[in-house]
Amino acid sequence: MSKLSINYVPSGALDASPALVIRSKACKYSAMVATASREDECAEMLMASARGDEHAFRKLYERTSPQLFAVLLRILQTRSLAEDALQEVFVSVWRNAGSYAPDRGTGLSWLIAVSRYKAIDIRRKRRFETVAASIEDTANIPDDGSNDPGAVELPSQHRRLENCMRELSPQQLQAIRLAYLQGLTHQEIAVRISSPLGTVKSWLRRALGALRECLER
Q: How many CB atoms lie within 10 A of CB 146?
A: 16
Nearer to other proteins, 77 or 106 (CB): 106
Q: Does 126 bind other proteins (CB under 8 A)?
A: no
As measured in angstroms, the least distance from the Cβ of 100 to other proteins is 11
The residue range among 5-13, 31-39, 97-105, 129-137 that interacts with other proteins, by the rule CB under 8 A, is 97-105
Q: In terms of Cα–Cα distance, which of 175, 203, 202 is closest to 189?
A: 175
Q: Does 96 bind other proteins (CB under 8 A)?
A: yes
CA angle 71-72-75, nearest 5°? 90
Q: Does 183 bind other proteins (CB under 8 A)?
A: yes
The answer to whether the beta carbons of residues 42 and 60 sit under 8 Å apart is: yes
Whole-angstrom distance, CA of residue 104 vs CA of residue 85: 22
Q: How many CB atoms lie within 10 A of CB 104?
A: 12
CA angle 163-201-82, nearest 5°? 75
Q: Which amino acid is at 155?
A: P
The residue range among 5-13, 24-32, 33-41, 191-199 that interacts with other proteins, by the rule CB under 8 A, is 24-32
Instruction: Give the count of residues interacting with other proteins (CB under 8 A).
Output: 78
Subset of residues 37 to 66 that bind other proteins, contact rule: CB under 8 A = 48, 50-56, 58, 61, 65-66
Subset of residues 143 to 162 that bind other proteins, contact rule: CB under 8 A = 143-146, 148, 154, 158-159, 161-162
Judged by CB under 8 A, the residue of 6, 120, 135, 210 near other proteins is 120
